[in-house]
Amino acid sequence: MSAGAWLVTGGAGYIGSHVVRALQADGQRVVVVDDLSTGIAERVPHRAQLEVFSVLETRELAQVMHDLHVTGVVHLAAKKAAGESVNEPVEYHNENTGGVISLLTAMAAAEVRRLVYSSSAAVYGEPVDDNPLTEASPTNPTNPYGSSKLIGEMMIRDSAPALGLSWAGLRYFNVAGAGAPDLSDTSANNLIPMLLRARAAGRPAKIFGSDYPTPDGTCIRDYIHVSDLADAHVAACRLVTDEAPGSGVILNIGTGRGSSVREVIESMSLALGDQLVAEEAPRRDGDPSVVQADPSRAAEALGWRSSLGLDDMTASAVAGMGWLESHGYL
């Protein structure tokens, strides 16, 4: 990779902070742009420069790219709660779809031509026949969050030839775990943090829907350790080069293995050394039954495979409970 900097939007967030550290470990200079609406400034390492503003501020974004000699962007900044997006569709498209428009405009102005885009398995919606999902599987999002991510992919693909972009879109499956306690997941909507909060509050964990067409009736997801995901970003940054303008690739980033909600609860119970109590609740809007990846294309394109399993994710989440409690998240 070149001597320029990688700009990580949303680099103070849960996933972003792992990506920043992974890039630094790979010897890269990193600049972070984050509005800190959900990100945490202390998660940004001292060696990474933090600029606090929204990616919707196009002129400022382009200025930072120019002034700090940015040569590539990892774009993670976005709103990401599928259920919330059903109730706030305009806000999701403003932040996510508008964020990509602003980013591409700034990249064009600053002549930055390498991009790794944070997409999501939510673009697939409710899988009909394909399971596990390949990158060629039909895309039919069931919520505005998934729609915003798919539109982002389309805008990048359409813009790449004119802007000379070399790009990769990474469709994340369900991200979990932590690379260090201070990087723990603080999300209000992800399953593992929800289980930890329920236990800390002394109330049963909720299983949202137990009548899905799955072996135990609960949703099945492909959970991937956030450290594996961060390593996939480093590999993607190596893949996108100035020598391949106008080219791009979409890649599933998952393990290829699915786990049900009940299986996650059992793994969490094992990590805690105490059986979690759970109660059934109605389904949430926009939740598909089964979402599982075929990650073989990513293995071929990136030379990357996941190495950590569900028990690693739950154990690392439990290891971060002290940090979460001390910072008011439990």
Indicate the pTM of the whole model. Answer: 0.94
Which CATH architecture group holds 181-221+256-292+307-326?
Alpha-Beta Complex (3.90)
Q: Which CATH number fits domain 5-176+223-253: 3.40.50.720, 1.20.120.140, 3.30.360.10, 3.90.1150.10?
A: 3.40.50.720
Fold match between domain 5-176+223-253 and domain 181-221+256-292+307-326: no
The answer to whether residues 95 and 55 touch, using CB atoms and an 8 Å cutoff, is: no
The answer to whether residues 74 and 6 touch, using CB atoms and an 8 Å cutoff, is: yes
- Give pLDDT tens digits along the chain (330 positions): 447 999 999 999 999 999 999 999 999 999 999 999 999 999 999 999 999 999 999 999 999 999 999 999 999 999 998 889 999 999 999 999 999 999 999 999 999 999 999 999 999 988 776 679 999 999 999 899 999 999 999 999 999 999 999 999 999 999 999 999 999 999 877 899 999 999 999 999 999 999 999 999 999 999 999 999 999 999 999 999 877 788 899 999 999 999 999 999 999 999 999 999 999 999 987 677 888 999 999 999 999 999 999 999 999 999 999 999 999 988
Using alpha carbons, select from 313, 137, 286, 306 the residue that is nearest to residue 232.
306
Which phi and psi angles does 233 have, rounded to 5°?
-65, -40
The answer to whether residues 167 and 248 touch, using CB atoms and an 8 Å cutoff, is: yes
DSSP bridge partners of 293 = 133
Q: Look up 14 and say whether it is catalytic.
A: no
Name 133's Cβ contacts closer than 8 Å, sequence gap at least 6: 121, 124, 127, 252, 291, 292, 293, 294
Hey, where are the domains in the chain?
5-176+223-253, 181-221+256-292+307-326
Which phi and psi angles does 115 have, rounded to 5°?
-145, 130
Options 92, 124, 145, 329, the catalytic residue: 145
Per-residue model confidence (pLDDT) at position 1: 42
CA-CA distances (angstroms) from residue 87 to 24, 144, 190, 283? 38, 9, 17, 15
Burial class (CB in 10 A: 0-12, 13-18, 19+), 180: middle
